[in-house]
Amino acid sequence: MSNFLTNMADGDLNLTTGLLWLILATVVSMIGGAIGGIILAGKDIGYSFSAMLGALFAPAGAIPAILLGLILLTLLSNY
């Protein structure tokens, strides 16, 4: 566990830290999507339903961008 925390603190990207960053970024995108859904369609279709739809559809665009960013960071840090 201390090795994992050291890798996270140093900014070292490996499989475990990359997966953790992917999970954290997905959770943040879900929260942002829920807030965006509430703001955009809360009055029309209900606040809880719009939050659920926003949280489900936000990672569809965020996960590929996160993976691409992690791949580029890994490639740039190795060269």
Among residues 79, 56, 59, 75, the alpha carbon closest in space to that of 18 is found at 75
Global pTM reads 0.77
Alpha carbon distances (Å) from 18 to 37, 62, 79: 28, 15, 18
pLDDT grade, residue 14 (50/70/90)? confident
How crowded is the C-beta side of 58, counted as CA atoms within 13 Å? Answer: 20
Among residues 12, 31, 13, 7, the alpha carbon closest in space to that of 39 is found at 31
Question: pLDDT by residue (tens digit) across 29-57?
Answer: 999 999 999 999 988 899 999 999 999 99
If you ran DSSP here, which 8-state letter would residue 11 be given? Answer: T
As for how many domains the chain has, the answer is: 1
Distance CA 53, CA 36 (A): 10
Which domain does 51 fall in, by range? 2-78
Question: pLDDT by residue (tens digit) across 52-77?
Answer: 999 999 889 888 998 898 889 888 87
pLDDT score of 15? 81
